[in-house]
Chains A and B, each alone.
Chain A
Amino acid sequence: MGSMSDAAITLRGLTKTFKETRAVDALDLDVPRGQRLGILGPNGAGKTTTMMLLLGVVTPDAGEITVLGHRYPRGRTHAIERSNYFASYLGFPSKLTVRQMFSVFADLYGAASGAVDEAIDRFEIAPLLTKLPSQMSTGQKTLVGMARATLNRPDLLILDEPTASLDPEIAEKLRAILRELHADHRMTILITSHNMVDIERLCDRVVFIGNGRVIADDEPMALAARYGVADLERTFLQIAEETRR
């Protein structure tokens, strides 16, 4: 139960039902530290619910969650102190400038001195520091949100659709920064995306979820090969089709 466990994430029998819908169904998952894991699945497969469970924003009906060696619910705060999260649907405080928001989130996540400047430099967002959210484009907001998610140099970075609505150039810039971050800090990255390019270029493992369960689990290209196709896009379509049957 120490924080130096080799596993970044361990899920055992994780189950969550909303009214009549079983969003996550006895999910078991082990993610070693330093791994870049892509979670794929059709809409409603349980990806976002799984992330919300990992963040402790949603409580499970059954099962165990251990993140960075800390067992939930008691260890949730300690786990989240060393994690961070970005999603395209995550808003910013509307009246705070980017600089003010960073100062607040640096406190909330206990960021070390220098980490804020490092994040600003890495994402090249210095010109945006005096801007309010309403004064930024979608691409700029994504870069700012990603920078915010790295203020505490997290050991675990959880990303839900980070490149949604981005043009290909900014999406590629974001992927390059994520690769660089991983190389520098060996952080564990958990990412969901409907953009298969994100998963192919960023992840060394893919878990395909359907109806709240793990349907397939392998390296991206090995998974494609297993289904006899050339890329993840076609793998996705094939698995999704099989899941529906």
Chain B
Amino acid sequence: MIDTTALNRRRVRGVYRRLLLELLNNKSELFEIVAWALLDLLAWGLLASFIEQGEVALPLPIAFLIGSALLWAVMFRFQIGSSFSFLYEAWSGNALAMLASPVRPIEYFVGAIGFSLTVTVVQLSVMAGVAWFGFGFTLSSLGPAIVPFFGILALFGLAMSLTVLGLIFRYGHGANMLAWTLSGLLQPLSAVYYPVAILPGWAQAAAQALPTTHAFEGMRAVLAGQPLSMSRLGVAFGLDLVYLALGAWYASAGLRVLRARGYATRYAY
């Protein structure tokens, strides 16, 4: 049901503006966005400092752990940014008005992606500033490789958000816990803070099927002075496309179910 007709830019802007205003008018949400990411960063940064001051032979712990915390935040923000956008509508009683409006699903999703991108840039800027001031880590130490790593993680975040949207369309508010926890469930397999070789054999095989694993393994390789592996990037982007296609299919199917079974009336105020 993803309509391929040209996007109406004004409607996309309307969705973007609606989500941004909701956030700007919600001080506790604004605080949470920055605070949780900072706490995560501080925890990993302090742990890395502790390791560095000790006798543990671990290469570049600050760079590894802080770089991982920053990149994971990108993935998480893209994942919840788009899936939570519809939950905002549901919680505020605006979902039915949105479903009854001329906005096409693809226009809504593109507006939500723009919103996620804005929030990610703001959040990452704050985190990067703290990483630099507090731990002397700069994102530029990743060099130009940072661009594809961000891309891999953002695309996978979007794929997961589409899956969560599909679940919300089918199961309503009850699926909202997945919006928070899905990325957390995948984090251990993604080898975010440690090499994939540490995982048990079966988990290593599963980890290879996640684009996130390739991004974090690639990041550690670059920070350790190795060249950026183009084949690893290719595999990661290829997996992203597969997950995006599956996520889009699942979200579209969920929307068809919502319309066929009349679930929209769940959102009557």
Known contacts A57-B96, A90-B269, A108-B103: A95-B259 contact under CB 8 Å: no
Known contacts A94-B93, A110-B8: A77-B104 contact under CB 8 Å: yes
In the complex, which residues of chain A have a beta carbon less than 8 angstroms from the beta carbon of B21?
A: 93, 95-96, 100, 104
Interface string of B103-133 (1 = CB under 8 A from A): 1100000000000000000000000000000
Known contacts A107-B13, A110-B10: A93-B18 contact under CB 8 Å: yes
Q: A135 interface residue, CB < 8 Å from B?
A: no
A85 to B98 alpha-carbon distance, docked (Å): 11
Query: B25, B101, B264, B267: which contacts A95 (Cβ < 8 A)?
Result: B25
Q: B36 interface residue, CB < 8 Å from A?
A: no
A49 to B94 alpha-carbon distance, docked (Å): 19
Q: A58 interface residue, CB < 8 Å from B?
A: yes
The smallest beta-carbon distance between B103 and chain A, in angstroms, is 6
Query: B14, B92, B100, B267: which contacts A80 (Cβ < 8 A)?
Result: B100
In the complex, which residues of chain A have a beta carbon less than 8 angstroms from the beta carbon of B92?
A: 91-95
The smallest beta-carbon distance between A102 and chain B, in angstroms, is 11
Query: B10, B14, B93, B268: which contacts A92 (Cβ < 8 A)?
Result: B93
Can you name the residue of chain A whose Cβ is closest to the Cβ of B264? A57
In the complex, which residues of chain B have a beta carbon less than 8 angstroms from the beta carbon of A91?
A: 92-94, 96-97, 267, 269
Q: A52 interface residue, CB < 8 Å from B?
A: yes
A91 to B96 alpha-carbon distance, docked (Å): 8
Question: By the criterion CB–CB under 8 Å, are A55 and B100 in contact?
Answer: yes
A133 to B103 alpha-carbon distance, docked (Å): 23
In the complex, which residues of chain A have a beta carbon less than 8 angstroms from the beta carbon of B94?
A: 91-94
A104 to B265 alpha-carbon distance, docked (Å): 22
A104 to B262 alpha-carbon distance, docked (Å): 26
Q: A105 interface residue, CB < 8 Å from B?
A: yes
Interface string of B22-46 (1 = CB under 8 A from A): 1001100000000000000000000
Q: A3 interface residue, CB < 8 Å from B?
A: no
Interface string of A14-58 (1 = CB under 8 A from B): 001010000100000000000000000000000011001001111
Question: By the criterion CB–CB under 8 Å, are A89 and B100 in contact?
Answer: no
Question: By the criterion CB–CB under 8 Å, are A94 and B102 in contact?
Answer: no
Question: By the criterion CB–CB under 8 Å, are B262 and A58 in contact?
Answer: yes
Q: A109 interface residue, CB < 8 Å from B?
A: yes
In the complex, which residues of chain A have a beta carbon less than 8 angstroms from the beta carbon of B261?
A: 18
In the complex, which residues of chain A have a beta carbon less than 8 angstroms from the beta carbon of B97?
A: 85, 90-92, 105
Q: B15 interface residue, CB < 8 Å from A?
A: yes
Question: By the criterion CB–CB under 8 Å, are A58 and B264 in contact?
Answer: yes
Interface string of A67-102 (1 = CB under 8 A from B): 000000000010011000101011111111100100
The smallest beta-carbon distance between A30 and chain B, in angstroms, is 22
A81 to B25 alpha-carbon distance, docked (Å): 28
In the complex, which residues of chain B have a beta carbon less than 8 angstroms from the beta carbon of A103?
A: 17
A92 to B102 alpha-carbon distance, docked (Å): 17
Known contacts A18-B261, A95-B22: A107-B99 contact under CB 8 Å: no
In the complex, which residues of chain B have a beta carbon less than 8 angstroms from the beta carbon of A85?
A: 97, 100
Question: By the criterion CB–CB under 8 Å, are B22 and A59 in contact?
Answer: no
A48 to B267 alpha-carbon distance, docked (Å): 14
Query: B17, B103, B260: which contacts A59 (Cβ < 8 A)?
Result: B260
Which one of A23, A49, A89, A104 has the greatest number of beta carbons of chain B within 10 Å? A104
Q: B256 interface residue, CB < 8 Å from A?
A: yes
Question: By the criterion CB–CB under 8 Å, are A89 and B269 in contact?
Answer: yes
A80 to B18 alpha-carbon distance, docked (Å): 19
In the complex, which residues of chain B have a beta carbon less than 8 angstroms from the beta carbon of A49?
A: 262
Question: By the criterion CB–CB under 8 Å, are A108 and B11 in contact?
Answer: yes
The smallest beta-carbon distance between B32 and chain A, in angstroms, is 14
A153 to B264 alpha-carbon distance, docked (Å): 25
Q: B91 interface residue, CB < 8 Å from A?
A: yes
The smallest beta-carbon distance between A218 and chain B, in angstroms, is 29
Question: By the criterion CB–CB under 8 Å, are B13 and A77 in contact?
Answer: no
The smallest beta-carbon distance between A171 and chain B, in angstroms, is 19
The smallest beta-carbon distance between A57 and chain B, in angstroms, is 4
Question: By the criterion CB–CB under 8 Å, are B93 and A52 in contact?
Answer: no
A105 to B102 alpha-carbon distance, docked (Å): 10
A163-217 at interface with B (beta carbon < 8 Å): none
The smallest beta-carbon distance between B9 and chain A, in angstroms, is 9
21 A–B contact pairs at CB < 8 A?
Answer: A18-B262, A52-B264, A58-B264, A59-B259, A80-B100, A90-B97, A90-B268, A91-B94, A91-B97, A92-B92, A93-B89, A93-B92, A93-B93, A96-B18, A96-B21, A96-B25, A104-B21, A105-B14, A105-B97, A107-B11, A108-B103
3 smallest A-B Cβ distances: which pairs? A91-B93, A107-B14, A91-B269
A-B contact sample (10 more), CB < 8 A, given A57-B100, A93-B21 = A52-B264, A58-B264, A77-B102, A89-B268, A89-B269, A90-B96, A91-B92, A95-B25, A96-B25, A107-B11
